Structure 1
Amino acid sequence: MDTQRENIRHLGLDGLTAYFEQIGEKKFRVKQVHEWLWQKHAHSFEEMTNLSKDLRAKLAQDFSLPALQVDATQFSNDGTVKSRFKTVEGHLVEGVLIPTEDRKTACVSSQIGCSLSCKFCATGYIERKRNLHFDEIYDQVVLINQQSLQAYNQKLSNIVFMGMGEPLLNYSNVMKAIERISAEDGLFMSPRRITVSTAGVAKQIKKLGDDQVRFKLALSLHAANDAKRNEIMPINESNNIKALIEALNYFYKQTGNEITLEYILFKDLNDSKQDAEELVKVFRQIPADLVNIIEYNTIDAFKFTKPDEDDIQRFMNILEANHVNARLRRSRGRDIDAACGQLANKG
């Protein structure tokens, strides 16, 4: 990895402007280079063909231009595409293209590994190496968008931060990545089509409210009482359900943005009548639009299994009877370990 030269994408527009002034280049060069970096997605200075050879050589001498590369791709029977990306120093991270008839969604990662150790998530068993930089997150979206165009002749319609890592523990880079993704001189995707999912970092949820973000928020709840949530999500010991309810209400008061609760069903853990009733109580305390009930996708390290179809339906019926807007989300990409909770860089 090149540690001597600064990553040119970390300069920003002001930094680029200052650099070109310093070397005596004309102002329009700033716009040209900026376009190559964020709209034409150049992976080397050599690709910047409307610059002189001398200027390209000068940029290559002064800056680095690291970018994510696709290391491996797997195709599911249901059309889902999982990609393993490689960083410039060789770390691996995964992202997924999830196609449906009316949507093409990119599921992207925010960290290499994860520090939260949620028991049902394969990524939770991988040591967190580092946060992804904002340009690396942006690269994931660009590369998955290219896959969508190639496979379906359609651009991405949605982005979910539900891949590897906890987005709110990489707050600054995730915010910068979303800014670039939604910028007119970036991918120009509406923030309303972006959802950030969190395991529940109450302080950072409130910060999202203070920062007046425009994207949607999803909380990975997965248990509606503290004892059970502590058992499967250690983060609950420092961010309990009461604290999360307060934080989500604050977030909604500040932004008015859509909130979704995510709830994976585990057989004989959180799928009983009492569990459903406790979920109803939590739902009524949060201005949530939707509860996504998610099929559990097995991983080797976790002892639980998916409930029977009858038990799933019974759980859904209780929610419906209590006027909870709930949707059962069927797994996609399970055959290639691309489904919810399965991302683990296995190849």
Structure 2
Amino acid sequence: MEKALVKKDIRSYSLENLKTLFTEMGEQGFRAKQVYEWLWKKSAWSFDEMTNLSKDLREKLNQNFTINAVAIDKQQISSDRTIKNTFKLYDGNIIEGVLIPTEDRMTACVSSQVGCSLTCKFCATGYMDRKRNLNADEIYDQVVLIDKQAREHYGIPLSNIVYMGMGEPLLNYSGMMKSVERLTAEDGLNMAAKRITVSTAGIAKMIKKLGDDNVKFNLALSLHAANDTKRNEIMPINEQNSLTALRDALKYYFAKTKNPVTYEYIVFNDFNDSLQDAKELAQFCKHVPCKVNIIEYNPISFADFVNTEEDKLEAFASYLRKNNVNVHIRKSRGKDIDAACGQLAVKEEAAAGH
């Protein structure tokens, strides 16, 4: 193993690959399984923690491998108990993740990319450049750190995970899928897939791929307009992934998985909050079983959108309900610390990208 001058992240290996490596190192195969458990079940971030391994083996591991753990760089606590984390990655890049506590659940909102390439006009992350995809272990680490935070601050473990932080999860498909696999595996964190939601801005062919892979987690689509002209204006991704393409992809996904879909819909004042908009949305909701989360808009300094007025919001929601659409109005959390939906961005980056 002398040739391993550049230490490779041990978490990038599958269990089978680790067994092969250990055999090459003159170690027994079952040691690989022990190490794998330390990495994924017990979330060990140093080889010295692996107390059931000999000192000699731990030394060998230290010489040949590294564990590129994520660290909390900064944390801010909102007046509503939401906690925003700035995480530092092994290469110095920065991402953000949020703990959202409510009466009945503790939710981790995690990032899947450093920055984002999609340029949605209302989202702070969209004003940053996309630097790279996160590895599965970097997504996993965010969950571990936020779970620890939930236990320390509120005495309650994490119950839910949403891939709604920085980046577009379906453009980091393999990293996202591997992270879900590790989070839900019995030899990982053993979380229920039903408690995980992956949110996409709408990439039709990847939604179909989710269907082909018969995923068990929930899918949320950031819709925000059920009209191509309006959606193109605020979400340039719609130009290649029209509502017709998304409709077909969602039908395919539902036929394969039987999972209902959640539509996220931010109501902007005088843009997508009229009864005509509600009518178009109700129409779109007929394609597959779904529910709609209406989200209030959280202002960012780069965009001049304004949240809709209360009476218009009520009229919008009640039109949907009358048309048998399952609607929830979500109040924003962590707005005072820029931790709310659409506000995550490394400030200097976003300003530079604007």
Select the residue among 247, 266, 269 that pairs with 2:268: 266
Query: Which residue of structure 1 lines up, in the alignment, with residue 30 of structure 2?
Result: 28
Identical columns (%): 61
Query: Which residue of structure 2 lines up, in the alignment, with residue 339 of structure 1?
Result: 340
Checking the alignment, whether the CA contact within 8 Å between 1:46 and 1:56 is kept in structure 2 is: yes
Instruction: Find the aligned partners of 1:65 and 1:229 in 2 and give their Cα distance.
Output: 42
Query: Which residue of structure 2 lines up, in the alignment, with residue 303 of structure 1?
Result: 304
Secondary structure in 2 matching 1:105: strand
> What letter corresponds to residue 314 of structure 1 in structure 2?
A
Query: Which residue of structure 1 lines up, in the alignment, with residue 87 of structure 2?
Result: 85
Checking the alignment, whether the CA contact within 8 Å between 1:149 and 1:155 is kept in structure 2 is: yes
Counterparts of residues 206-225 of structure 1 (less than 5 Å): 206-225=208-227
Instruction: Find the aligned partners of 1:33 and 1:210 in 2 and give their Cα distance.
Output: 32
Instruction: Find the aligned partners of 1:304 and 1:101 in 2 and give their Cα distance.
Output: 30
Query: Which residue of structure 2 lines up, in the alignment, with residue 128 of structure 1?
Result: 130
Counterparts of residues 143-182 of structure 1 (less than 5 Å): 143-182=145-184
Query: Which residue of structure 1 lines up, in the alignment, with residue 119 of structure 2?
Result: 117
Checking the alignment, whether the CA contact within 8 Å between 1:108 and 1:137 is kept in structure 2 is: yes
Instruction: Find the aligned partners of 2:126 and 2:158 in 1 and give their Cα distance.
Output: 27
Counterparts of residues 145-294 of structure 1 (less than 5 Å): 145-288=147-290, 290-294=291-295
Secondary structure in 1 matching 2:107: strand
Checking the alignment, whether the CA contact within 8 Å between 2:260 and 2:288 is kept in structure 1 is: no
Residues 3, 209 of structure 1: alpha-carbon distance in 2 compared, 3 angstrom cutoff: farther
Query: Which residue of structure 2 lines up, in the alignment, with residue 319 of structure 1?
Result: 320
Residue 3 of structure 1 deviates from its aligned partner by 8.7
Checking the alignment, whether the CA contact within 8 Å between 1:249 and 1:287 is kept in structure 2 is: no
Secondary structure in 1 matching 2:95: strand
Q: Would you identify which runs of 4 or more consecutive aligned residues in structure 1 move more than 6 Å?
A: none
Tell me the matched-pair count. Answer: 345
TM-score, structure 1 as length reference: 0.97
> What letter corresponds to residue 130 of structure 1 in structure 2?
R
Could you tell me which runs of 5 or more consecutive residues in structure 1 were left unpaired when the two chains were aligned.
none
Instruction: Find the aligned partners of 2:109 and 2:188 in 1 and give their Cα distance.
Output: 18
Query: Which residue of structure 2 lines up, in the alignment, with residue 99 of structure 1?
Result: 101
